[in-house]
Structures are given as C-alpha cells and as structure tokens.
Structure 1
Amino acid sequence: MHFWVANPRRSQKPALVMLHGYGGNSKWQFIHQVGSLSQSFNLYVPDLLFFGDSYTTRLERTEIFQAKCVAEGLKRLGLDRFSVYSISYGGFVAYWMAEMYPELVEKTVVVSCGIGMTKEQKREQLNKVGSNALNLLVPQSARDLRLLVNLSVHKPGPSKWVPDIFLRGFINVTYKQHRKEKLELAEHLLRKKEDPDLPILTQETLIIWGDKDEVFPVYLAYQLQRQLGPKSKVEIIKDTGHAVNMDSPTSLNSLITSFVLG
C-alpha cells in the first residue's frame, strides 16, 4: 500500500486521510485540493489497491478488503486518530473503514458515492449511461475515456477538449498496469447485491454532492442521509457534476475544512 504523507508532519494539525475515486490515482485526482487542505491538515493520501503504486497478491477485490489495507497501513504509519475525506469509489472504502475502525476514524466526508443503492437503482442508472460500464470504469480507447469525462465533469474545461492522442497516453500510463485487477474490482461493484443491513456509522458524517451528477443522482445523497440519521448532513454544490473535486474544488475544500475542524 503506497501512501503520500505530509512532510514534515506538524503535530498541531489534525490528520486527514484522502481516498480517491475509481480510475487514475491519488496524485492527479486531488491536484486541486492538496495545496489548500494541507494548510489545515496533515494529509495522508493512499493509492487504493491496483491504482498508482499499490497492489496485492491476495485475491480479495472488495471495498472491505481495501478498507482493511488502508487502515492497517495508517496504523503502521503511527496514526491512531484521523478523519477521512472520500470521493466516489473511495466513499465505499471510507464507509467500511469508519464501520470497522471506529476507534481510528473521527469524522467522515463522503462525496458523490453510490453506497446503499438498490439493485433497481443501479440497473436504472446503468441503462441511462447507455454504454458498457466496464469500458467506462477501465477505458481502453480515447472514446471511452472522453465519455467518462463528459459523464463526470459538468463544467467546461481542458478535460473536455483535450486531443485523443493525450487521452490515449493517459490510458497507457493510468489504466494499463493491473488492468485485469481493476476490471475485477469494477465487476465486484457492478455485480454485488444491495446490502439490506448496511451499518449505521457512529461518526459524524458530511455528505457532499453536485446537483448535476450524472453518475450517482443527487437523490442518493438524501437516501444515504436517511440511512445514517441525525449525525449526518447533506451539502449540495450547485452547477457541479460527479467530479466535485474537478468542478468545484474551492467550495469542496471549504466544506471539508469547516466540517472536520468544527
């Protein structure tokens, strides 16, 4: 398990663990956030298994196994208390970290994560996407990656018009390594049944969503809040898609900081 760690670590700052979404790695997904958040927190940013420099020879492909690996890695780094900010796939991992390690996790921030979706909701959303979901999660072509970007990013920007040659280069760098394992992770997410006994977290939880999310519709934010109860709250960022970290990083950073430090 590979971690990017604050250096030097400042004892007066609280620890914040940042869990990235599917595709790519932590280095580029948090490019608009590390500078701002590092002013208030000691940051610990893992590459989840089979992304970036993290891998395993074990056969488990669940978010529960990912959560165990992250938590045990953080303990080896000497952390005994921290908050977790997570986005999309990282939210599944953060949820189970908070459930299994309540003595470690102080507060949780879950952004644009479809945890708790029913089988019918998942089927409806896959039909709306109208493409092979595995090709989107682990793209093989510039067309696949461009479709993923258009689904995830709402606001116009360089990612919308970058030439195919750069998209193909990004795929070679980001998705070629551990491709088989990435597909297995995605297959597990897409095929797993809904969990009727999804645990209620004991931590205060902030749920953040973009109002233009085309991957996980905004009603899922309120559905998750109803599941978690009074220790959770929802913040909706306007004119923002699934990739809140790309569309509205300043607003996102402000919400994370005020919640974790509050």
Structure 2
Amino acid sequence: MTRCFSFVAAQDSYYRYCFKRAGLKSSTTNLGDGTIMHCWIPKMHNPSIPTLLLIHGFGANAMWQFNGLIPHFMSTFNVYVPDLLFFGESYTTRAERSESFQAQCVMSLMEAQNVAKMDVFGLSYGGFVAYSMAAQFKGRVGRVALGCAGVCFEEKDAGSMEVCKVTTAEEAVSILLPQTPEKAREMVRLSFYKPPPSMPSCFLWDFIETVFFPQKNQEGE
C-alpha cells in the first residue's frame, strides 16, 4: 500500500529519540547460528546499581511498550530493553520458536553485554520469557515481576472469565498478526479493557505495514 507519510514510522522515530534522550543507545549483537539480537542498553553501565531487564509483549517492538516507563527507572537501574526475536530488529534463521529459546537468546545477549545478574520484568508474552529465564538461570535472575502474563493459567480458570477460544494455530495467528484493519480491530477488541472508540483504516494499515510486516512493506518499495 503506497503512502507519502507514515504516522507510525514518525512515532517510531520519536520513541527512538526518547530512548536516546533517557540515556540508552541502540546495540545489535550477533549470537551466531543466524541469530541477531537488538537491545537498548545504557550509554554507560554503572556497576554500583542493579540491572533491570524489560521484556516486551507480543505485537510491537520494545519502544512502543516501554517508552513511558524508561525515565522512571534510569536513576535506579541499569536498564536493558531487548527486542525479542521476530520483533523490531531481532531475528533468527533457526527453527526454534519457544519462549524457552527466546529466554536463552536474551540471556546470551546479556552475557555479551557482560551483565552477570539482573532483575526482570516481563509484559504479556514477555512474562512467559521472563519466567523461563528465571527457571533456566536461577543464579543469574534476581527479582521477577510479571504483568498481564497468564503463566500459571490453567484450563479450569477459563470457566470464571470471558476468554477468546481458538481451535487452530492459524486462527490464533490471524488475530495476533492481523493483516487487515478488520482483524486489527478484532485483536484490539479482544485485548483491550477499553478499546479506542475510533480506529481509522488508514492508520491501521499503516500500523500493520510498519510494525507487523515491515519486511513485506520494504520489498514492495
């Protein structure tokens, strides 16, 4: 879809500016075996204060989900904010797709940054990754906080609440990775307590092409 201006790309640039202004810098690490991890790291790591790792959820890169929080943590922690694999600028050619593999890659990234121990906050899908990190690397992960992550959610718990039930992986993908404005509205309706009253299709197309499928958009240019 051809466009002369992208609001979402402009917002992305603004978030990038905010992260840099807060004291972070963009860093890309090659973990080998076709795996590249992007992370926002401190411009100068302070060994006298603890490290906080912020792990984003499904649907966008780290900047979109943590921009408002960064300034509140910078004076207390060394803040690291990675893009999980297949989000933002992180990717792999390997076949693994589990949260366990995500956790291993994030820890390898932190090892490359010479960070020995860290506290971790995981949001939504990032909560599963944070939980997996804590389970796999008990000596290196300190405090763990999870937000909106049903790590211990069981099938019996679904009876007391309204949940979205899907029957196939393809159906789940169509909701979590919407390719049309209609599917994007469905995702927002299912995931927001108070969905926005208006979501113009032009904005949703922009978001889909810029955030969900940036490679496809670049190939068409």
TM score, norm. by length of structure 2: 0.71
Matched-pair contact (CA < 8 Å) for 1:50–1:178? no
Matching residue within 171, 175, 186 for 2:208: 171
Provide the residue aligned with 1:102 in structure 2. Answer: 138
Matching residue within 126, 147, 161 for 2:164: 126
Moved over 3 A (4+): 119-124
Provide the residue aligned with 1:91 in structure 2. Answer: 127
Q: 1:162 to 1:36 in 2, by over 3 A?
A: farther
Matched-pair contact (CA < 8 Å) for 1:126–1:133? no
Q: CA shift at 1:72, angstroms?
A: 1.0
SS across alignment from 1:106 = strand
Higher relative contact order (CA 8 A, sep 6+): 1
Provide the residue aligned with 1:197 in structure 2. Answer: none
Alignment of 1:45-84 (within 5 A): 45-84=81-120
Q: 1:90 to 1:105 in 2, by over 3 A?
A: same
Higher strand fraction (1 or 2) = 2
Q: 1:35 to 1:161 in 2, by over 3 A?
A: farther
Seq. identity, %: 37
Q: CA shift at 1:154, angstroms?
A: 2.8
**Any idea what the Cα deviations from partners look like across 1:180-227, whole Å, max 9, x if unmatched?**
xxxxxxxxxxxxxxxxxxxxxxxxxxxxxxxxxxxxxxxxxxxxxxxx
Q: 1:58 to 1:166 in 2, by over 3 A?
A: same
Q: CA shift at 1:149, angstroms?
A: 2.3
Q: CA shift at 1:119, angstroms?
A: 4.3
Cα distance in 2 for partners of 1:178, 1:114 equals: 30
SS across alignment from 2:163 = helix
Matched-pair contact (CA < 8 Å) for 2:52–2:119? yes
Provide the residue aligned with 2:21 in structure 1. Answer: none
Structure possessing the higher radius of gyration over alpha carbons: 2
| Paired positions, count | 176
Provide the residue aligned with 2:46 in structure 1. Answer: 10
Q: 1:160 to 1:36 in 2, by over 3 A?
A: farther
Cα distance in 2 for partners of 1:164, 1:143 equals: 8
Provide the residue aligned with 1:29 in structure 2. Answer: 65
For structure 2, the 5+ residue unaligned runs are 1-36, 217-221
Alignment of 1:176-215 (within 5 A): 176-177=213-214
SS across alignment from 2:165 = helix
